Amino acid sequence: MKAAKAEATSAATELLVSVDTKAVVKVGEFSRDGMTRVATKALDHDFNADARVTPVGILLPQHDDLRIFMATSKATSDCIVDCVEMWWADARLRFPEVKRITLLQDNGPENSARRTQFLKRMVDFVRDHHIDVRLAYYPPYHSKYNPIERCWGALERLAARHRQHSR
């Protein structure tokens, strides 16, 4: 992992990308999740959610560029690769010199190096976009070192502050 990161950050033709998903988030007017100390207008019961979304984050640590996709499906191999493809459609215009992408990711069930659907979709991505992709996996229980993880914490703190002040 250390060598892959060092090589990706030093090469002008390589792009370091951190990818991760979070748990499904319910969308709706919920009273029980609020963290406010002021009078709040809310529903008296938490009924079904208006929607459920899965955040998929793609971070370019060297460029301070964060993209968050809200998928309406669960975090699956197809979902992750679809988000990478949407991101690359824009990023390839910004980085025309890039010949290889290094994806930093945890070894979760949906993007594991043993997950054939994920590997098939990544091979298709490489073939369709004529770019090399290196999959770099953090060891078990070390995904907290993935740069995208710091973004999730910051976004959760921001959302908590917004819930306090918007009600």
What span, in angstroms and rounded, lies between the C-alpha atoms of 87 and 76? Answer: 17
Predicted pLDDT at 45:
62
CATH class of the domain at 2-22+56-165: alpha beta
- In a 13 Å sphere around the CA of 49, the CA atoms on its Cβ side amount to 10
Domain limits, the chain? 2-22+56-165
Pairing of strands 14-21, 51-60: antiparallel
- Per DSSP, the three-state class of 163 is helix
Q: Which two tokens stand for residue 156?
A: 């959760």
Predicted confidence (pLDDT) per residue in 59-89, tens digit: 999 999 999 999 998 889 999 999 999 999 9
The position carrying tokens 């994806």 is: 103
Predicted confidence (pLDDT) per residue in 87-140, tens digit: 999 999 999 999 999 999 998 888 888 889 999 999 999 999 999 999 999 988
Predicted pLDDT at 165:
55
Q: Which two tokens stand for residue 167?
A: 């009600």
